[in-house]
Amino acid sequence: EHKAIATPRRTKEILEKYSFAFKKSLGQNFLVDVNILKNIMHLAGITKEVNTIEIGPGIGALTEQLAIHSDQVMAFEIDQRLIPILDETLASYDNIKIVNQDILKADIRELCSELFTDRKEIKVVANLPYYITTPILMQLLMAKLPLSSITVMIQREVAERMAAVRNTKEYGSLSIAIQYYTEASIGMIVPKTVFMPQPRVDSAVLHLSMRDQPPVKLNDEPFFFDLVQASFQQRRKTLRNNLIRHFKDVLSKETIEETFDGTEIDGTRRAESLSMEEFARLSNYLFHITK
């Protein structure tokens, strides 16, 4: 009978054996609850028909579950001290490849095509290092990798912003950026107590299902994201004020008023009331004027 890595007892044993000291700067908070991991497998839709990518295996708590429930596993770990530990804790699995690289610098596409030679779906599943949650997710999405979904444990507050709908205080440019590429939902809220050491904040499992097509048609993606960010610059202010300020060197006030008329969007509204489709209309109209 196999003892799971993700228990407080086994984790302590492993850490002591290697005199491992956590590095806060690498966001090292290890999961010590097998039930949470099983829920994650379920939320992510992991089966033997799926290949998986993990970011930050730590001592292998989640990696082990991925090895049991998915086909091939590729895990990126930046901390060299963990490599010999993973060699031992995961020794009984032959479907795991550990890559000792910074996920933000790795050539994921190339490594995927080397390791995942069948045509199975690829899913990302991870308990992310919280200090780089947003850069990791945005990089994965913008690289347009052949992924079907991303299921990640992240800070609760960030998960809520990523999955937010309009007319809520969590809705902002991050919600739009994430939801342009994916359908986002929160799978579960996770208490601090299932981690070792415990983080300062609560966590949540965010599930991102990749869209086949963006939900809106854009003339220019960077221009759209810039406009969305500008619209939320000062949340309490009107769309009109934020846009006049942002475009003051390139567009006259009159042009901006004209844009509100032309797109039938009321400039006295606040950004948090706009749908992605409305931002897209504004963006396509303005892009055409600035060219």
As annotated, the binding site for S-adenosyl-L-methionine includes 29, 31, 56, 77, 102, 127
- Sole binder of ligand SAM in the list 78, 112, 159, 208 (CB under 6 A): 78
- Tokens describing residue 83: 């490599």
Cβ 163 to ligand SAM, closest distance in Å?
A: 20
* Position among 14, 20, 29, 259 found at the interface with ligand SAM (CB under 6 A): 29
Backbone angles phi, psi at 55, to 5 degrees: -115, 120
Residue 103 interacts with ligand SAM (CB under 6 A)? yes
Who's near 106: CB < 8 A, 6+ residues apart? 76, 99
CA–CA gap between residue 45 and residue 122 (Å, rounded):
11
Instruction: Decide if residue 30 touches ligand SAM (CB under 6 A).
Output: yes
CB 99 within 8 A of CB 69: no
Q: Binding to ligand SAM by residue 129, rule CB under 6 A?
A: yes
Contact flag: residue 159 with ligand SAM (CB under 6 A): no
Tokens of 274: 């706009």
User: Considering beta carbons, is residue 86 or 162 the nearer one to ligand SAM?
Assistant: 86
Q: Residues 4, 34: contact at Cβ < 8 Å?
A: yes
Distance CA 177, CA 179 (A): 6
Q: According to the binding rule CB under 6 A, does residue 76 interact with ligand SAM?
A: yes
Chain positions contacting ligand SAM, by CB under 6 A: 26-31, 55-58, 61-62, 76-79, 102-104, 127, 129, 132
